[in-house]
Structure 1
Amino acid sequence: MTKIWKESGFVNDDPWVIETELTKAGSNEKAIVGLDAFLQQAATGASGLGVLISPADDVTRLAPHLDRIALVAVSFPAFNDGRAFSHASLLRTRLGYAGEIRAVGDVLIDQIPLMLRCGIESFAVSNATALKRLAEGRLPGISNHYQPTAKPTANANSYSWRRVS
Structure 2
Amino acid sequence: MTKIWNETGFVADDPWVVETEETSAGSNQKAILGLDAFLARVAGTEETGLGVLIQPADDVRRLEGHFDRLALVAVAFPAFNDGRAFSHASLLRTRLGFAGEVRAVGDVLIDQIPLMLRCGIDSFAVTNPTALKRLAENRLPGIDNHYQPTARPAAEAGSYSWRRRASPAA
- By the TM > 0.5 criterion, same fold? yes
Task: Report how far residue 143 of structure 1 moved.
Answer: 1.7
SS at match of 1:88: helix
**Residue in 2 aligned with 1:137?**
138
Tell me if 1:56 matches 2:49: no
Q: Which amino acid aligns with 2:38?
A: F
Structure 1's unaligned 5+ residue stretches are: none
Cα distance in 2 between the residues matched to 1:59 and 1:157: 28
Distance in 1 of aligned mates of 2:159 and 2:68: 34
Which deviations, in whole Å up to 9, do the C-alpha atoms of 1:118-162 show, x marking residues without a partner? 000000000000000000000001121111000012234873224
CA distance in 1, matches of 2:159, 2:23: 44
Offset of residue 32 of structure 1: 0.2
Tell me, yes or no, if structure 1 residue 123 matches structure 2 residue 124.
yes
Counterpart residue number, 2:21: 21
Alignment of 1:1-165 (within 5 A): 1-44=1-44, 45-156=46-157, 159-162=160-163
1:77-121 deviation per Cα after TM superposition (whole angstroms, max 9, x unaligned): 000000000000000011100000000000000000000000000
CA contact (8 A) 1:156 1:162 kept: no
Partner Cα distance (1:156, 1:31) in 2: 37
The letter of the residue matching 2:3 is K
Residues matched between the structures, number: 164
Match of 1:71, SS state, is strand
- The root-mean-square deviation of aligned C-alpha atoms, in Å, is 1.4
How big is each residue's C-alpha offset from its partner over 1:5-52, in whole Å with a ceiling of 9 and x where there is no partner?
000000011000000101000010000010000000011222110000
Q: Which has the higher helix share?
A: 1
Query: In structure 1, what is the Cα distance between the partners aligned to 2:164 and 2:115?
Result: 20
**Cα gap change, 1:61 to 1:157, in 2 (>3 Å):** closer
Q: For residues 163 and 129 of structure 1, what CA distance do their matches in structure 2 show?
A: 39
Percentage of pairs with the same residue: 79
Query: SS at the partner of 1:161?
Result: coil
Unaligned runs of 5+ in 2: 166-170
C-alpha contact (below 8 Å) 1:145/1:158 kept by paired residues: no
* TM-score normalized by the length of structure 2: 0.93
Structure 1 residues 133 and 157: alpha-carbon distance in aligned structure 2, compared to 1, 3 A threshold = farther
The one-letter amino acid of 2:33's match is V
Q: Helix, strand or coil: the match of 1:74? A: strand
